[in-house]
Amino acid sequence: AAPLQAAETPSLLRRMRVKEVMTPDPITVSPDEPVEVAACLLREHKIGSLPVVEHRMLAGIVTQTDLFDALIHLLGGDIRGVRVSIDLPNGLADLTALAGVLTPLLEARSGALTLSVRIDATSRRGYVRVRTSAPLILAEQLAVAGLEVSHLRLDPPAKPTRALS
């Protein structure tokens, strides 16, 4: 076949229909599927979105951006404050101590808090993201509880907005 000439492209596009370029039997998920299942399917099949199907009807579409938004929320990336990495070499015993330090923060409702913990053969570490005006006091409370803070990251202050005159 001869290569397409630039002048032929608009005519070809007018004649082409979606059915000619669509994926006829797409990989789908149900609305009740865990988020990580959708993320694994996107990664495994190297695709950017999945139709969400319920009772054989399209209920929506989940995209990579949707999953990144969920990840940011689950890891507390939408909370301005401090992110603390804590070593948990004693596994559940350390996790209990960590819960003891964090419980008063939750009870005081002083700010938002997320906790992500992984205790397995390769990692024994917890990550806490919390909105607090006293991050060094939190680090001190963790140390008093026998927990080692391996990294503490403060979010930079919000950039001031310039008033319009």
Q: What is the pLDDT of residue 7?
A: 63
Q: What is the pLDDT of residue 111?
A: 63
Q: What is the pLDDT of residue 68?
A: 93
Please, which pLDDT band fits residue 41 given cuts at 50, 70 and 90?
very high
61 sits in which H/E element: strand 57-63
**Which pairs with CB-CB distance under 8 Å and at least 24 residues apart come from 58-63?**
59/31, 60/31, 62/29, 62/38
- Decide if pLDDT at 165 tops 60: no
Q: How far is CA 103 from the centre of its chain?
A: 23
Q: What is the pLDDT of residue 164?
A: 60
The most confident of the ranges 88-97, 121-130, 155-164 is 88-97
Per DSSP, the three-state class of 45 is: helix
Q: What is the pLDDT of residue 4?
A: 60
**What are the pLDDT digits (tens) for 45-57?**
999 999 999 999 9
CA distance 26 to 51: 8
- Decide if pLDDT at 158 tops 70: no
pTM over 0.85: no
**What are the pLDDT digits (tens) for 94-136?**
999 999 998 887 776 656 788 888 888 888 889 999 888 788 8
Percentage of the residues of the chain whose pLDDT score is greater than 90: 44
Q: What is the pLDDT of residue 61?
A: 97
